[in-house]
Amino acid sequence: MTAYQGARTTARPRSLLQLALGTVAAGAVGALVVVAFSPFSAATAAFSPPLYALIAGAYSVVPFLARRVLDYTWAATTVGVVAAALAAPFSPIGILIVVLFVGAGAAYDSVLWCLTRGRADRRAPGWAYAVAALVSALVLFLVSYPVLSPAHRVPLILAATFGGRAVGQLAAAGAAAAVHRLLGRRPLGHRGRARR
């Protein structure tokens, strides 16, 4: 059984097992990114939330890339969950990192789903990825707001922190697009009825 039976595509349909293995593999790579950046990001979080917000954009590169390569509706979310679960023991915030990945991934995936619903080929235009990245930045900002110290809850720092989130997420989306182009690959499957 394939994941996208009946879908018109030039790419070979992939089985659910292949997509699951791809999701786990991408999640493992994402976890390595989290582990690699955690020491530096943790050191900046306490004294500069805007800088931390910018650096943390690196965590979204793999989930955003997975959304393009694996090409199923909740790819960024599920890859993010796998990455966060694997990285949680090494993260300064522990299992709470799952909340950040779920929030960012679900926002990104939801926006892309909404913006492609009316398209016959279900393909997301380039600008849709930027919009999805900005919405994910807003979600990350709102989720992280409660943990900001009172000293950092002033308009200038809050604006700079959101700006850092926005730039970081847009950079992650741009990096994912660039890597996808370098891979020279079409998505592993095509959006079809079986994904809903």
Which pLDDT tens digit goes with each residue over 169-184? 999 999 999 999 998 7
Summary mean pLDDT of the chain? 85
In this prediction, residue 80 has a pLDDT band, given cuts at 50, 70 and 90, of very high
- Distance from C-alpha of 89 to C-alpha of 57, rounded to nearest angstrom: 20
Is 3 within 8 Å of 14 (Cβ atoms)?
yes
Q: Helix 75-87 crosses helix 97-116 at what angle (to 10 degrees)?
A: 170
Q: Which of these ranges, 86-95, 117-126, 148-157, 173-182, has the smallest mean pLDDT?
A: 117-126
Q: Map tokens 């999640």 to a residue.
A: 27
Q: Mean per-residue pLDDT for 96-100?
A: 89
Instruction: Tell which phi-psi region holds residue 62, choosing left (phi > 0), alpha (psi between -120 and 50) or beta.
Output: alpha
Q: On the CB side of 12, how many CA atoms lie within 13 Å of its CA?
A: 3
In three-state secondary structure terms, 92 is coil
